[in-house]
């Protein structure tokens, strides 16, 4: 018995949602398994999982052996990833591979990548008492080095600092790597415990898309039943702070170009229509070279090299980011907020609205060219609970009117005005 | 005008080759099952083309001129290039490299209008003293942004050590000082010399009708003729400096080892073969699948920041191997030791790399921009197709061993060490 969600067949073998869409018109397929847990104290150990799980399985003795196994599968990308969705940690086991019918000898790619996925999830050296302490210590040192290296990308450093200070006290206010102190405190038993926690208590979702073989559900079943049974624990909605006075934060670093980050808040969209209105408003404000931030802040006033707006709608957190001269920081911030107010007041042309809609629709029109893009879209809609196909979303975007854009823009408020300034500058 | 049809060697999809009446080499990849179309227009003009014959004499231009010109072509009299593409739901952009500048768009509707606009963009420059001046501040900010990127600074320090004469040592965008010397006259002079049909390649991939595409391309008003004669900078000697040290704002010191290409110029196919063979050498020693690398990491000689790559173009070529480290001397010693280690190349490794390459190739067939970019670059160079795949397929372990013997030599080596400020 199966249902349909956003154009995917939806079945629930053993209670786990499996979303599936075959597309014989493409050449690759993708399998993704997601486990979701609230962002919590195990964050640093969780963030180390993708690297630690590279260090071998029962069948592939170490990291080079695992890498060679992937290469032999015509460079199938099989592995674990770690990210966040609003205030949830997401562990992602995925495979992205070329379909057998496009390869010499038509090898069983679908079966082989599932085997490799299973190896990494359930037969990893991390779970067995086989991972040497020095490998763990090496990966912990690497995680710490990577966290510190963010400072070599000043834009990323500014964004991280701004978001952490804006979201202090919220689950979101933890860096994706967990934080330097937390990484240092991770002990050898923590990452395997974090993996078991995901597999046993995570909200699990499975998605498949692309050039899948015949009867993919049947061929996937042994893989699914080999994964540990999950007894998911509840997930919480994201924390949204009440409207408050905007804070101005200025930090310095030895560098040439100042980085401006405006952290803004917006209500989390509770329907596809509200999500579309927010998306169009953001497109109009700073979603590309057609936007007000590009045309007014960069082109007309030459205040910066780049200025754009984007963010995490599922958290209700939006960001304006710009790189500019230190003497332009205030002007960039003021002009950006003035442009948002203009949009909120409806002072934009019909052509600007139509362009912002067209730009928002553009990627959706070709989303079926690559299975990965369609799968990511569907996963996102499933986690939100918005049952819309890309075609329906294109129509919803097309229906966004001036009033909806004004309403969405007017509900956005500035929480933190942050800038990272060159040391010794004005 | 008719097409010559070739098929790719892996999945057998069509590539149609034609040359327009004005001499522009065009490739069309009709892909009726895809929804998106990409067009890439590539010119043989990059950051290294600083000195050239402008017709009435040889001119020397400041570093960053090709990149500045790329910015200016996005400005027309209506000041609405980006807006026009965006209104059609298309994404348009451009990129300048060492040897090429490319203009491209992707769209899922109104392809004909977008293509006409792209052709107009590159054929009708709107460059005035005023708009050149207006752009200077924006480009200066871009230059500053890259000056804050330590990896980029380290790479160009290494290139400066390897090449004391070849302009590959200059950053692609130039410096704030060099772009200060760029004027509307210089940009127009460069445009006239390099933006010619004989110095360009155009590729279009997606659900298009090839004949209709060619009819539009024939309308292109780009001037005909070849590109200019460039200064022949023969810089194939030993590296100018075997070692350079810099102090930058880094979290950890960096070590970057370079191996300079010393062989005389070669055909496009030979350069691609060299790149393939060098890639196999670097892979054997430094990739995640290398037991040699894993052993060195276990001993703490370097960490996961280690990376290696190769670039080979007309007039220059180099391999780089680098990492971040707390102990630069130890990491440098480890990289040198790896380069001289007794490592065999076997058929199993070559077969794995061929499989990897086939996998990447099939994947690229789902991305129209990747397809069009690769074919525009090949079209610019000439008529050969799929040379990368052919080069890799033809490699033997003996070729790889020979290649290693030729490039991995002490006299080819230069080192850049970046220390913390």
Asked if A302 reaches chain B (Cβ–Cβ under 8 Å), the answer is yes
Chain A hits for B297, CB-CB cut-off 8 Å, are 138
> Mind spelling out the 3-state secondary structure of B119-150?
HHHHHCCCCCHHHHHHHHHHHHHHHHHHHCCH
**Residues B226, B23: Cα–Cα separation, whole Å:** 9
Long-range CB pairs of A105-113, under 8 A, 24+ apart, other chains included: A107/A73, A107/A74, A109/A29, A109/A73, A109/A74, A109/A76, A110/A29, A110/A212, A110/A213, A110/A216, A110/A219, A111/A219, A112/A73, A112/A76, A113/A31, A113/A73, A113/A76, A113/A78
Q: Which of A67, A97, A141 sits opposite B288 (nearest CB)?
A: A67
Interstrand relation of B307-313 and B316-324 (parallel, antiparallel or unpaired)? antiparallel
**Residues A116, A31: Cα–Cα separation, whole Å:** 12
Give me A114's structure tokens: 């599932």
With 0-12 / 13-18 / 19 or more C-beta atoms within 10 angstroms meaning exposed / middle / buried, residue A285 is buried
Phi, psi of B292 (to 5 degrees): -65, -45
pLDDT for the residue numbered B342: 87
Chain B hits for A134, CB-CB cut-off 8 Å, are 298
Q: Which of A152, A298, A354 sits opposite B250 (nearest CB)?
A: A152
Asked if B289 reaches chain A (Cβ–Cβ under 8 Å), the answer is yes
Decide if A148 and B251 are in contact by the 8 Å CB cutoff: yes
CB A21 within 8 A of CB A6: no
CA of A199 to nearest chain B CA: how many angstroms apart? 27
CB A307 within 8 A of CB A354: no
Give me A226's structure tokens: 């080999």
Cα-trace Rg, chain A: 23
Chain B hits for A368, CB-CB cut-off 8 Å, are 35
The CATH-assigned architecture of domain A247-422 is 2-Layer Sandwich (3.30)
Write the pLDDT tens digit of every residue in B246-292. Answer: 999 999 999 999 999 998 778 888 999 999 999 999 999 999 999 99
CATH assignment of A3-226, given 3.90.650.10, 3.30.830.10, 1.10.510.10, 3.40.605.10? Answer: 3.30.830.10
What is the distance in angstroms between the CA of the first residue and the CA of the last residue of chain A?
67
Max distance between CA atoms of chain B, in angstroms, equals 63
ipTM: 0.92
**Residues B164, B239: Cα–Cα separation, whole Å:** 8
- The 3-state DSSP class for residue B230 equals strand
Whole-number percent of chain B with pLDDT over 70:
99
Write the pLDDT tens digit of every residue in B313-334. Answer: 989 999 999 999 999 999 999 9
Specify the range with the lowest mean pLDDT, choosing from A326-330, B382-386, B399-403: B382-386
Asked if A393 reaches chain B (Cβ–Cβ under 8 Å), the answer is no
Write the pLDDT tens digit of every residue in B67-115. Answer: 999 999 988 877 689 999 999 999 999 999 999 999 999 999 999 999 9
pLDDT for the residue numbered B338: 96
Scanning A115-134 for CB atoms below 8 A from B yields: 134
Decide if B108 and A365 are in contact by the 8 Å CB cutoff: yes
Residue in A closest to B369 by C-alpha: A369
Chain A hits for B32, CB-CB cut-off 8 Å, are none
Q: Which residue, A322, A299, A362, is CA-closest to B80? A: A299
CA of A419 to nearest chain B CA: how many angstroms apart? 15
The position carrying tokens 């010559």 is: B4
Asked if A61 reaches chain B (Cβ–Cβ under 8 Å), the answer is no
pLDDT for the residue numbered B79: 63
**Residues A363, B89: Cα–Cα separation, whole Å:** 8
Asked if B291 reaches chain A (Cβ–Cβ under 8 Å), the answer is yes
Residue in B closest to A23 by C-alpha: B33
CA of B230 to nearest chain A CA: how many angstroms apart? 31
CB B90 within 8 A of CB B107: yes
**Residues A204, A218: Cα–Cα separation, whole Å:** 19
Phi, psi of B225 (to 5 degrees): 110, 165
Residue of A30, A51, A53, A75 best to disrupt the B interface, most CBs of B under 10 A: A75
Residues of chain B with CATH 3.30.830.10: 4-218, 243-420
**Residues B92, B310: Cα–Cα separation, whole Å:** 29
CA of A278 to nearest chain B CA: how many angstroms apart? 18
Domain boundaries, chain A: 3-226, 247-422
Decide if B368 and A324 are in contact by the 8 Å CB cutoff: no
Number of CB pairs, chain A paired with chain B, less than 8 A apart: 171
pLDDT for the residue numbered A426: 57
Scanning A14-43 for CB atoms below 8 A from B yields: 25-28
Q: Do domains A3-226 and A247-422 have the same CATH topology?
A: yes
Chain A hits for B82, CB-CB cut-off 8 Å, are 288-290, 294
Q: Which fold has domain B243-420?
A: Cytochrome Bc1 Complex; Chain A, domain 1 (3.30.830)
**Residues A27, B365: Cα–Cα separation, whole Å:** 8
CA of B327 to nearest chain A CA: how many angstroms apart? 14
- The 3-state DSSP class for residue B347 equals helix
Asked if A148 reaches chain B (Cβ–Cβ under 8 Å), the answer is yes
> What is the average pLDDT across B176-181?
97
- Of A41 and B295, the structure prediction assigns the larger pLDDT to B295
* Residue partners of A43: CB distance under 8 A and separation at least 6: A89, A174, A178, A179, A182
Q: Which residue, A129, A97, A132, A102, is CA-closest to A116? A: A97
Chain A hits for B288, CB-CB cut-off 8 Å, are 54, 63-64, 67
CB B27 within 8 A of CB B203: yes
CA of B83 to nearest chain A CA: how many angstroms apart? 5
Q: Which residue, A140, A111, A115, is CA-closest to A126? A: A140
Q: What is the pLDDT along chain A (426 residues), one digit of tens a residue?
A: 469 999 999 999 878 999 999 998 899 999 999 999 999 889 999 999 999 999 999 999 999 999 999 999 999 999 999 999 999 999 999 999 999 999 989 999 999 999 999 999 999 999 987 899 999 999 999 999 999 999 999 999 999 999 999 999 999 999 999 999 999 999 999 999 999 999 999 999 999 999 999 999 899 999 999 999 888 988 999 999 999 999 999 999 999 899 999 999 999 999 999 999 999 999 999 999 999 999 999 888 888 989 999 999 999 999 999 999 999 999 999 999 999 999 999 999 999 999 999 999 999 999 999 999 999 999 999 999 999 999 999 999 999 999 999 999 999 999 999 999 999 865
- DSSP states of B265-311 as a string? P--HHHHHHHHHHHHHHHHHHHSTT-HHHHHHHHTTS--TT-EEEEE
The residues of B annotated with a catalytic role in the active site are 70
Decide if A68 and B352 are in contact by the 8 Å CB cutoff: yes
Chain A hits for B154, CB-CB cut-off 8 Å, are none
> What is the average pLDDT across B282-308?
95
Asked if B419 reaches chain A (Cβ–Cβ under 8 Å), the answer is no
**Residues B85, A362: Cα–Cα separation, whole Å:** 11
Task: Provide, for chain B, the percentages of residues in helix, strand and coil under a 3-state DSSP scheme, each rounded to the nearest 5.
Answer: 45, 20, 35
Decide if B355 and A74 are in contact by the 8 Å CB cutoff: yes
Q: Which fold has domain B4-218?
A: Cytochrome Bc1 Complex; Chain A, domain 1 (3.30.830)
Residue in B closest to A294 by C-alpha: B82
- The 3-state DSSP class for residue B331 equals helix
Q: What is the mean pLDDT of chain B?
A: 94
pLDDT for the residue numbered B264: 73
CA of B363 to nearest chain A CA: how many angstroms apart? 7
pLDDT for the residue numbered B151: 96
pLDDT for the residue numbered B109: 95
Phi, psi of B405 (to 5 degrees): -60, -35
> Mind spelling out the 3-state secondary structure of chain A?
CCEEECCEEEECHHHCCEEEEECCCCCEEEEEEEEEEECCCCHHHHHCHHHHCCCCECCCCCHHHHHHHHHHCCCCEEEEEEEEECCEEEEEEEEEEECHHHCCCCCCHHHHHHHHHHHHHHCECCCCCCCCHHHHHHHHHHHHHHHHHHHHCHHHHHHHHHHHHHCCCCCCCCCCCCCHHHHHHCCCCHHHHHHHHHHHHCEEEEEEEECCCCCHHHHHHHHHHHCCCCCCCCCCCCCCCCCCCCEEEEEEECCCCEEEEEEEECCCCCCHHHHHHHHHHHHHHHCCCCCHHHHHHHHHCCCEEEEEEEEECCCCEEEEEEEECHHHHHHHHHHHHHHHHHHHCCCCCHHHHHHHHHHHHHHHHCHHHCHHHHHHHHHHHHHHCCCCCHHHHHHHHHCCCHHHHHHHHHCCEEEEEEEEEECCCC
Asked if B35 reaches chain A (Cβ–Cβ under 8 Å), the answer is yes
Q: Is the dihedral of CA A268, A274, A277, A283 positive or negative?
A: positive
C-beta atoms surrounding A170 within 10 Å: 17
Q: Is the dihedral of CA A112, A117, A121, A127 positive or negative?
A: positive
């Amino acid at each position: 018995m199966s249902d349909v969600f956003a154009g995917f067949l939806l079945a629930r073998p053993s209670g786990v949602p499996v979303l599936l869409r075959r597309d014989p018109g493409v050449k690759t397929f993708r399998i993704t398994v997601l486990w979701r847990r609230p962002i919590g104290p195990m964050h640093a150990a969780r963030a180390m999982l993708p690297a630690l799980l590279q260090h071998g399985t029962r069948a592939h003795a170490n990291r080079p052996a695992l890498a060679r196994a992937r290469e032999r599968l015509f460079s199938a990308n099989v592995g674990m990833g770690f990210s966040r969705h609003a205030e949830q940690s997401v562990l992602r086991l995925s495979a992205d591979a070329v379909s057998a019918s496009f390869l010499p000898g038509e090898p069983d790619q679908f079966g082989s990548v599932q085997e490799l996925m299973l190896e990494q999830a359930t037969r990893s050296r991390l779970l067995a008492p086989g991972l040497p302490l020095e490998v763990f210590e090496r990966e912990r040192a690497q995680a710490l080095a990577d966290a510190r290296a963010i400072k070599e990308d000043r834009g990323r450093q500014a964004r991280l600092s701004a978001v952490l200070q804006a979201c202090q006290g919220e689950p979101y206010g933890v860096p994706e790597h967990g934080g330097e102190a937390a990484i240092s405190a991770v002990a050898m038993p923590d990452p395997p415990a974090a993996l078991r926690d995901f597999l046993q208590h995570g909200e699990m979702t499975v998605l498949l898309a692309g050039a899948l073989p015949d009867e993919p559900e049947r061929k996937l079943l042994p893989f699914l039943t080999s994964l540990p049974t999950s007894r998911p624990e509840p997930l919480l909605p994201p924390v949204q702070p009440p409207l408050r006075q905007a804070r101005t934060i200025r930090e310095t670093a030895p560098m040439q170009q100042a980085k401006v980050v405006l952290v803004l808040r917006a209500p989390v969209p509770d329907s596809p229509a509200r999500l579309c209105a927010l998306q169009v408003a953001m497109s109009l404000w700073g979603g590309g070279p057609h936007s007000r931030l590009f045309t007014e802040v960069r082109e007309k006033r030459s205040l910066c090299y780049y200025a754009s707006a984007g963010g995490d709608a599922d958290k209700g957190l939006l960001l304006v980011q710009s790189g500019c001269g230190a003497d332009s920081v205030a002007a960039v911030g003021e002009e950006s907020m003035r442009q948002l107010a203009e949009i909120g007041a409806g002072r934009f042309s019909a052509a600007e609205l139509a362009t912002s809609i067209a730009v928002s629709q553009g990627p959706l029109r070709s989303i079926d060219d690559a299975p990965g893009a369609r799968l990511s879209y569907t996963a996102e809609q499933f986690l939100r609970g918005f049952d819309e196909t890309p075609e329906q979303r294109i129509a919803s975007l097309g229906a966004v009117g001036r009033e909806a854009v004004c309403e969405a823009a007017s509900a956005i408020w500035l929480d933190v005005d942050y800038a990272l300034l060159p040391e010794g500058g004005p | 005008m008719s097409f010559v049809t070739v098929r790719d060697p892996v999945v057998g999809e069509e590539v149609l080759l034609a040359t327009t009446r004005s001499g522009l080499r065009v490739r069309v990849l009709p892909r009726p099952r895809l929804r998106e179309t990409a067009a890439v227009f590539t010119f043989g003009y990059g950051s290294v083309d600083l000195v050239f014959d402008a017709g009435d004499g040889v001119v020397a231009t400041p570093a960053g001129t090709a990149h500045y010109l790329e910015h200016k072509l996005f400005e027309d009299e209506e000041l609405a290039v980006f807006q026009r593409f965006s209104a059609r739901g298309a994404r348009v952009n451009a990129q300048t490299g060492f040897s090429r500048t490319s203009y491209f768009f992707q769209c899922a509707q109104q392809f004909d209008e977008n293509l006409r606009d792209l052709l107009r963009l590159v054929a009708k420059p709107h460059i005035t003293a005023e708009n050149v001046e207006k752009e200077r501040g924006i480009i200066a900010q871009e230059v500053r942004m890259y000056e804050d990127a330590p990896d980029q600074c380290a790479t160009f320090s290494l290139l400066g050590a390897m090449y004391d004469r070849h302009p590959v040592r200059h950053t692609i965008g130039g410096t704030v000082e060099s772009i200060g010397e760029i004027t509307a006259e210089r940009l127009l002079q460069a445009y006239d010399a390099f933006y010619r049909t004989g110095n360009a390649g155009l590729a279009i991939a997606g659900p298009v009708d090839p004949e209709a595409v060619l009819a539009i391309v024939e309308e292109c008003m780009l001037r005909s003729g070849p590109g200019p004669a460039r200064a022949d900078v023969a810089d194939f000697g030993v590296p100018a400096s075997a070692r350079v040290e810099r102090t930058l704002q880094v979290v950890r010191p960096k070590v970057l080892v370079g191996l300079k290409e010393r062989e005389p110029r070669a055909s496009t196919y030979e350069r691609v073969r060299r790149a393939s063979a060098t890639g196999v050498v670097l892979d054997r020693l430094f990739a995640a699948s290398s037991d040699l690398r894993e052993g060195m990491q276990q001993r703490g000689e370097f960490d996961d920041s280690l990376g290696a790559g190769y670039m080979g173009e007309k007039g220059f070529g180099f391999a780089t191997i680098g990492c971040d480290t707390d102990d630069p001397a130890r990491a440098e010693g480890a990289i040198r030791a790896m380069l001289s280690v007794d490592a065999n190349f076997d058929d199993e490794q070559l077969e794995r790399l061929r499989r990897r390459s086939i996998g990447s190739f099939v994947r690229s067939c789902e991305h129209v921009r990747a397809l069009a970019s690769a074919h525009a670059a090949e079209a610019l160079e000439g008529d050969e197709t799929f040379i990368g795949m052919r080069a890799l397929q033809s490699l033997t372990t003996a070729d790889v061993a020979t290649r290693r013997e030729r490039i991995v030599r002490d006299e080819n080596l230069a080192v850049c060490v970046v220390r913390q400020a």
